[in-house]
Homo-oligomer: A and B are copies of this chain.
Amino acid sequence: MIMINGVIKDYIDVADRGFQYGDGLFETIEVRDGRPVFVDFHLERLKSGCQRLHIPFPNVEILSYELGELCRSKISANAVLKIIVTRGSGGRGYRQPDDIKPTRVLSLHPHPDYPQTYQQQGIVARFCTTRLGLNPTLAGIKHLNRLEQVLARAEWHDPAIQEGLMLDGHGYVIEGTMSNLFYVKNNNVYTASLNNSGVAGIMRNIIITLAAAQDIPVIEHQFTQQELLSADEIFVCNSIIGIWPVKQIAMLNFAAGLITKNLQTQLNKLIDREVGHEQ
């Protein structure tokens, strides 16, 4: 089911700047038992992305109403809700129209239903050769210019590998093609700083908050492949997968350790509270 500017349809104006230039943003939201999970965080990030790209943020009441409509349309199932906001239609050329009428696209997709083993035993990751470009202006934003991720994801076809890790132009490890990356060493948690590239994920922020609440310091810094591979625990995260331990990279094995499992437990409690399953 797809809703575009409040109307049920599945096509957009070819002059939409989302299509012409990737001039927009998106959010990918888990829907559990008909409820969008962490929806306030997603709308907040969407708003902040709109501010950084100077796209007028759609009316939040309308957006919330439409979100609800879509989620209720499929209440029995878990699903994935994607929101795209673009700068709307405009003439040929990079110059934006004087009167910007943003396009909002809400679409509901089947949940990927990954095997439980990914959460429990972990996944296999690889290093991609496609690098993330260096651009502080766009770093952190979940914008629609995603060719780097598309090219990185096209590097492997082996279904035994679930995620590819991407380095930036300096050779620092930043994130997965569809996830943020953390590692644990000597009881400290580390993740990449996102000043030059990468997406500042909702789940990344939640994990930093959950760790802080338990007095586990999370250090954002620049790190190399070698540093990552010397870790005690490694995990990736996003809004759909939650936390997946990484059990193998580059033929090296890692345990789904205590801190990873602790964070998974805290996260599951938080999600249960969100969807009203708390005891």
How many angstroms between the C-alpha atoms of A150 and B17 in the bound complex?
10
Does any Cβ of B come within 8 Å of A63's Cβ?
Answer: no
Residues of B contacting A95 in the complex (Cβ-Cβ under 8 angstroms)? 153-154
Does any Cβ of B come within 8 Å of A60's Cβ?
Answer: no
Residues of B contacting A133 in the complex (Cβ-Cβ under 8 angstroms)? 133-135, 137-138, 197
Residues of B contacting A131 in the complex (Cβ-Cβ under 8 angstroms)? 135-137
Number of interface residues of A (CB under 8 A): 59
Report whether B154 and A54 are in contact in the complex, using a CB–CB cutoff of 8 Å: yes
Does any Cβ of B come within 8 Å of A130's Cβ?
Answer: yes
Q: Which of B14, B28, B53, B177 contacts A147 (CB 8 A)?
A: B53
Report whether B19 and A16 are in contact in the complex, using a CB–CB cutoff of 8 Å: yes
Report whether A169 and B14 are in contact in the complex, using a CB–CB cutoff of 8 Å: no
Stoichiometry (number of copies): 2
Does any Cβ of B come within 8 Å of A245's Cβ?
Answer: no
Residues of B contacting A140 in the complex (Cβ-Cβ under 8 angstroms)? none
Residues of B contacting A92 in the complex (Cβ-Cβ under 8 angstroms)? 28, 80, 82, 107, 109
Residues of B contacting A130 in the complex (Cβ-Cβ under 8 angstroms)? 137
Residues of B contacting A75 in the complex (Cβ-Cβ under 8 angstroms)? none
CB<8 Å pairs between A and B, sample of 17 = A2-B14, A10-B13, A12-B14, A14-B105, A16-B19, A19-B84, A20-B26, A21-B145, A22-B147, A53-B151, A54-B151, A91-B109, A131-B137, A132-B135, A133-B134, A134-B135, A138-B147
- Given known contacts A12-B14, A19-B144, A135-B169, what 13 new A-B pairs fall within 8 Å (CB)? A11-B11, A14-B107, A19-B19, A21-B145, A21-B147, A91-B109, A92-B107, A93-B178, A96-B150, A133-B134, A133-B137, A134-B134, A136-B169
